[in-house]
A and B are shown apart, each in its own frame.
Chain A
Amino acid sequence: MADRIEMQLKVLMLAGLSGDAEAHRQLLAAAASRLRSYFGRRIGSDAADVEDLVQETLIAIHQRRESFNPALPFTAWLHAIAKYKLVDHYRRTGARRQVAIDDIGELAADDDFDPALAAMDIERMLSGLPEKHRKAIRLTRIKGYSVEEASQMTGQSPSAIKIGVHRGLKKLMVQVRDDDDDRD
């Protein structure tokens, strides 16, 4: 379950980083609902406070998305940012200075994601794609080569690489969405 959410969010994030506005919108919406329950459970009563914090965190996610490392899990990144904003909120309001013990356990577990596991997730996601798209995504979005380098390595033209990345990510998004519908 957590695994599937990680995959979905990561695909949306990668597509958003490639400039797909719709994927980015879906990502922010999904993040908003996760953040709402995360902050809600911790600062509780005041719904307006929670929503302010959600918005502030969404803006941070958007402005600082360069800080996401595609080799690592998206949810660990999101939770680290949410935790930072929560602690910052406590500091500002002076309300509750320490993060409750149970939070620390939960968040520490989040920080402990195994990069090897994350890499496996990606490979599993990619395995459903045509070879060309898979290569284009792996080289440019995960290994960090430029489009030109990927083009030289594969013998595909630069525009073919770009199209491969774009279509591949589109397909992945449809794939995870269908997964969702099947289970709902």
Chain B
Amino acid sequence: MTMIATEGLIRSLAAEVKPLRRGAAQMRLLAGIVAGSLFALLALSLLLSAPLSAVAYTGVPAFTMKLAFAVAMATATGILLLASGRPGQRIGMRLLWLGVPAALVAATAVMELMMKAPQFREQALLGSTWQTCVLAIAGMSLPVLAGIVWAFRRLAPTNLPLTGLLAGLASGSAAAVVYALFCPETTAAFLATWYTLGILAAGLIGLLAGPRLLRW
């Protein structure tokens, strides 16, 4: 290839330039995550039950706690994920944000277990749906991950394992938001253990698949 060819390339690239809305990257990433989450919502509605039907048993406070945890995780991972797709932007210590919702829920879980009589603690931890919970969150993270990978075709991740991990955690958190609409459990111990585990499993998927899926 020659410099003349490069001149030609530059002209043809410039000829197709269109104005870009500010916030285009944010909107695109959000669109990818929402599209994947809607797919997950549809899939879980078919596999499990009508969304929100379990709120009648759990009561609104337990439902709100689960939803708030998942939304906080999705927001924090989403912001860091976007930053990791923008060269020149640092993540560094901001990764610690992710520990805040997890630590709050873990602390609540410990207090909750301490207040229970020992023979009820195992029940509080395992509930009756822990397998469904982990499987649903890890499984439903896949369509969200697909949406994220789509959005990243216009972004420029320079650290693929890190971006892969964040993409996985974000997809798991979004899947957890969706799963919270179906979840019949009521304890913080359950939330701290199985939601977190599902999100971490999704993170592992992203970490392993990221470098292949996100390469450009």
Contacts and interface: CB of A to CB of B under 8 A. Distances in A.
- Indicate, yes or no, whether A interacts with B: yes
| Residue in A16, A59, A62 with the greatest tally of chain B CB atoms within 10 Å | A62
B9 A55 contact: yes
A77 interface: yes
B56 interface: no
Contacts of A81: 87, 156, 158
B28 A66 contact: yes
Contacts of A45: none
Interface size class of A (residues with CB under 8 A): 35 or more
A80 B1 contact: no
B18 interface: yes
Interface in A10-26: 16-22, 24-25
Interface residues of B, number: 35
B15 interface: yes
Interface stretch (B19-27, B111-119, B139-147, B165-173): B19-27
A19 B19 contact: yes
A156 interface: no
A141 B22 contact: yes
A58 B10 contact: yes
Interface of A: 16-22, 24-25, 28-29, 32, 36, 48, 51-52, 54-55, 58-60, 62-70, 72-73, 76-77, 79-81, 83-84, 88, 111, 113, 140-141, 144-146
Interface of B: 1-3, 5-7, 9-11, 13-15, 17-25, 28, 85-90, 153-156, 158, 215-216
10 contacts: A19-B19, A21-B17, A25-B14, A58-B9, A66-B25, A69-B89, A70-B22, A77-B88, A113-B88, A146-B21
